[in-house]
Structure 1
Amino acid sequence: MKIKLLAAAIAATACGTQAFAAEVYNSEGSTLSIGGYVDVGVGEYGADDDIQVNQVSPRLNVGGTQDIGNGVVVDAKGEWQLNYLNGGGTSFTTRLGYIGATHESGGRLVAGTQWAPYYDVAGVADLPIAFANDFLYENQGVTGSGRGDKMVTYRNSFAIGEDGGFNFGLGWQGENSGVSDTRFQVALSYSMMGFGLGYSYSGGDIGPSIIAVDATSHIVSLYYGSYGEGLYVAGVYGMNENFYDGLEESLQYEALLAYALGNGLNLSVNYEAVEDDKNSLTQFSQSALQAEYTVTPNLVTFAGYQFDLGDDYGTEEDDKWIIGARYFL
C-alpha cells in the first residue's frame, strides 16, 4: 500500500475528534505544518457544577516530514494542550511527542508519546466535541488506552479488493518509573463498504513491583459510515481486569448514533457506562444529545446536554451542558 494510503488509514482512526493542520513549508522532500485548535464554551461542564466559561480540549501542534529516499518518509510531531483560561500556572502540557518512519510497503514505526493502537479500535465512538468516550482516558498514559506514554508502535494496512482493507498495530511500553512494568498491545481491524470491525488487546503489569497486578483489556468495536458525512453508527464493548482504576473486573460500553445534514449540521446521541462486573454494580452511566454546526472549515459551533443516568452507589445525579465554538488554527 502506498505511503499516502497507509497514512490516511492511520489518521482516520488515531487522531481523536478532529484534526487540522496548515502546511507552512514544502521544499525538496521536507514539509512543516502547524495546527491545532482553540475552543471555548459556557455551561456546567467538567467537575464544577457552576455555570462558567470552559475549555474543552484546546491544543497546538507542530509537525514535519522528510523524504529520505528508498520509499521511506520520516516524520516528527509535538502537541501540547493549551491551558489559557486561568492566569498564571502552567500554560502548556504535553499531549504528543514522537518520531516516526513510514515505508510504502513496510508499514509505520513510531516511538514516543502517541495515540495507541488500542485507540485505533476503541476510539470509533470518541468523536463528538463536547461529550464522548470518557473511560478511554482513565489512566491512559500508563495503560495506553488513548495516548500512550513512552510507547513504541508498528502499524500496517493492506488493501483487500477495491473496497476492503485490513489494518493491524502492535504497541510496547517499557517500565515507567515504578508506575507500570512492561506492557504490550495488539489491534486488528477490517473495513469494507463503509462497515468496520475491530479488536484490541492490552496487557501487562501496573503498580510497584511488590504489589503489581496484571492489567488487561479485551475490546471490540463496530461502526458504519463516516462521522460528519450522513449516517454514522458505532459501538464499543470492553472486558477488563485491573484496567479501570479501583475495579478488579469491569465492563465498558459506548454507543454513538450521528447524522450529518447537508447544510453543515451534525446531530448525535451517545451512551456510555462502566460496570463493576465482579459485584454487578454500575459505576456510572450517561447519555448526551449534541449538535455541531460547521460555519466554515475552520470554525465549528457546538452544543450538548449530557444526562447522568445514575449508578448503584446512590450518587446524586449531575447533568452537564455546554454551548461553545471551536476555531481551527
Structure 2
Amino acid sequence: MKKTVLASLVSAAVVSGQAWAVELYNNDGSTFSVGGHVSIGVGNPDANRDKAITEYEFGVESISPRINFNATQELGGGFKADAKAEWSINMLDGGDNSFSTRLGYIGVTHETWGRVVGGTQWSPYYDVAGIADMPIAFANDFLYTNGGNLGTARAERMVSYRKSFMFGDNLDLNLGAGWQGQNDGNPEDYGDRAQLALSFDLGEIFVGYVFNTGSVSYSNDDAMANTLSAKYGSYGDGLFVAAVYEMGEQVQGNFDSTSIEAIVAFALANSLNFSLNYESIEDDDNNETQLSQMALQVEYNFTPAFIGYAGYQLDLGDDVSDDDDRYSIGVRYYL
C-alpha cells in the first residue's frame, strides 16, 4: 500500500537521507531517536569539501560526519509535530570547534493542510535541485555555494511550507514555499528571500521546477535562480538517472551563471552501486568556465549501516583555477 502523504513527509524529515535512526523511545504518541553517520577515508581532499582540513596531496579525510536527535509527538486533531537537532562533527581535529550546527527546526504536519517548518532546514529548493546530490565522495557542489544564506541547500533561518496532492496511485503534485528574513552576515548582508517549488512524481519519474529570489549586498541586482530537474528511479536500486539545470543571477558569484549536474548510476542486486556524474558552472557574463568536473564512483553496502566507497573525480578544466583531480576511498557508518 502506498504511504500517506503525512507519513511520507514526517518520515523524510526525521530520517533526512540517512539509512536509519536508532529509536530510543516510543510511547503514547511520542518518539525519540538518534541518528547520523561518520565517514573516514583517505584521499587528496580540499577545504571546499571538508572544512576541517586544508588542501594537501594525500591524507585522511572525513566527509560530512554528523549526529542528530529526532523527536515526534502526536498533537491530536490529525496534527503531528517533529523536531530535529543536527550537528556536524570534526573527526580530524580536537579543540573548541568539534561541533557546529547543520540543522535545527520544529515542524508541524497535517494530512490535509500540509507541513510547516521553522529553523535551519533542507529547503524546498533542495527538494527539487538536490535530486542528483547522491554519491558519498563527490556530488553536487554548486548547491552549497553560500547555500545556507541563499536557501539553495540547508537554509538558515527559514520558514517553509509543503503540501502534496495525490491523484491516484502514480501521480503526486508537490508544492513547496520558503521565506528567509534579513540576515546581516559576515562579510555580506542578505535581504528577505523567497522561493517557490513545484514538482511531480509519476511512478519512477520525477520532474521539478523551483524559483528563488532575494536581495544581496554584493550586487545591485537580486540573487535569483530558476532551476529545472528530472530523475528516473531510486539511487541504490537498479538504474538511476538524474539531471539539474540552474539558471542563476548572482547566485554562484557576482555574475549570471548556468550550472549543470547530471548523474547515471546502476546498483546490482548485491548492492554494488556504480555511478558517473558530471558538473559544470559557467560564468555567462564573462564567458568563463568556473567549474567542470566528472567523477566515477562505486559504493558497496557491507551491511545496511556500513558502506564502503571509492571515487575518482577528473577536473575537466576551467578558466579560474589549476586542474586538480581528486580521489577518495573509505567507509561510512550510519548510527
TM range (shorter): over 0.9
Which moves more between the two structures, 91-100 or 81-90? Answer: 81-90
**Offset of residue 158 of structure 1:** 1.2
**Offset of residue 46 of structure 1:** 2.1
**Structure 2: 5+ residue runs without aligned partners?**
48-54
Instruction: Determine the C-alpha separation between the residues in 2 that align with 1:217 and 1:64.
Output: 34
Aligned counterpart, 2:51: none
Instruction: Determine the C-alpha separation between the residues in 2 that align with 1:194 and 1:224.
Output: 5
Aligned counterpart, 1:3: 6
Aligned counterpart, 2:52: none
**Offset of residue 215 of structure 1:** 0.5
8 A contact 2:19–2:305 mirrored in 1: no
TM-score of the superposed pair, with normalisation by structure 1: 0.94
1:240-259 alignment to 2 at 5 Å?
240-246=248-254, 248-259=255-266
1:76 correspondence with 2:83: yes
**Offset of residue 20 of structure 1:** 2.4
Instruction: Determine the C-alpha separation between the residues in 2 that align with 1:256 and 1:312.
Output: 24
Instruction: Determine the C-alpha separation between the residues in 1 that align with 2:236 and 2:84.
Output: 26
1:198-209 alignment to 2 at 5 Å?
198-207=208-217
Instruction: Determine the C-alpha separation between the residues in 1 that align with 2:160 and 2:112.
Output: 16
Letter in 2 for 1:205: S
**Structure 1: 5+ residue runs without aligned partners?**
none
Q: Matched residues, percent identical?
A: 51
1:1-329 alignment to 2 at 5 Å?
1-8=4-11, 11=13, 15-16=16-17, 18-47=18-47, 48-177=55-184, 179-207=189-217, 213-246=221-254, 248-313=255-320, 315-329=321-335
8 A contact 2:298–2:309 mirrored in 1: yes
**Offset of residue 6 of structure 1:** 3.5
Letter in 1 for 2:253: D
Letter in 2 for 1:66: Q
Instruction: Determine the C-alpha separation between the residues in 1 that align with 2:16 and 2:225.
Output: 21
Instruction: Determine the C-alpha separation between the residues in 1 that align with 2:125 and 2:257.
Output: 17
Aligned residues: 322
The 3 A distance-change label for structure 1 pair 200 and 19 is farther
CA deviations over 1:187-217 (Å, ceiling 9, x no partner): 1100112011000000010127xx6531000
Letter in 1 for 2:141: D
Give the SS at the match of 2:233: strand
8 A contact 2:39–2:64 mirrored in 1: yes
TM-score of the superposed pair, with normalisation by structure 2: 0.93
Letter in 2 for 1:244: Q
8 A contact 1:151–1:171 mirrored in 2: yes
Letter in 2 for 1:4: A
Instruction: Determine the C-alpha separation between the residues in 2 that align with 1:136 and 1:215.
Output: 14
**Offset of residue 2 of structure 1:** 4.5
Which moves more between the two structures, 28-37 or 48-57? Answer: 48-57
Give the SS at the match of 2:184: coil
Letter in 2 for 1:198: G
RMSD, aligned CA: 1.6
Letter in 2 for 1:26: N
Instruction: Determine the C-alpha separation between the residues in 1 that align with 2:45 and 2:133.
Output: 17
8 A contact 2:43–2:58 mirrored in 1: yes
Instruction: Determine the C-alpha separation between the residues in 1 that align with 2:212 and 2:287.
Output: 23
**Offset of residue 160 of structure 1:** 1.4
8 A contact 1:139–1:245 mirrored in 2: no
Instruction: Determine the C-alpha separation between the residues in 1 that align with 2:102 and 2:129.
Output: 18
Letter in 2 for 1:321: Y
8 A contact 2:261–2:277 mirrored in 1: yes
The 3 A distance-change label for structure 1 pair 19 and 177 is farther
CA deviations over 1:135-181 (Å, ceiling 9, x no partner): 00000111000010000000011111211111110000001125211
Give the SS at the match of 1:45: coil
Q: Which aligned runs of 4 or more in structure 1 are off by greater than 3 angstroms?
A: 5-8
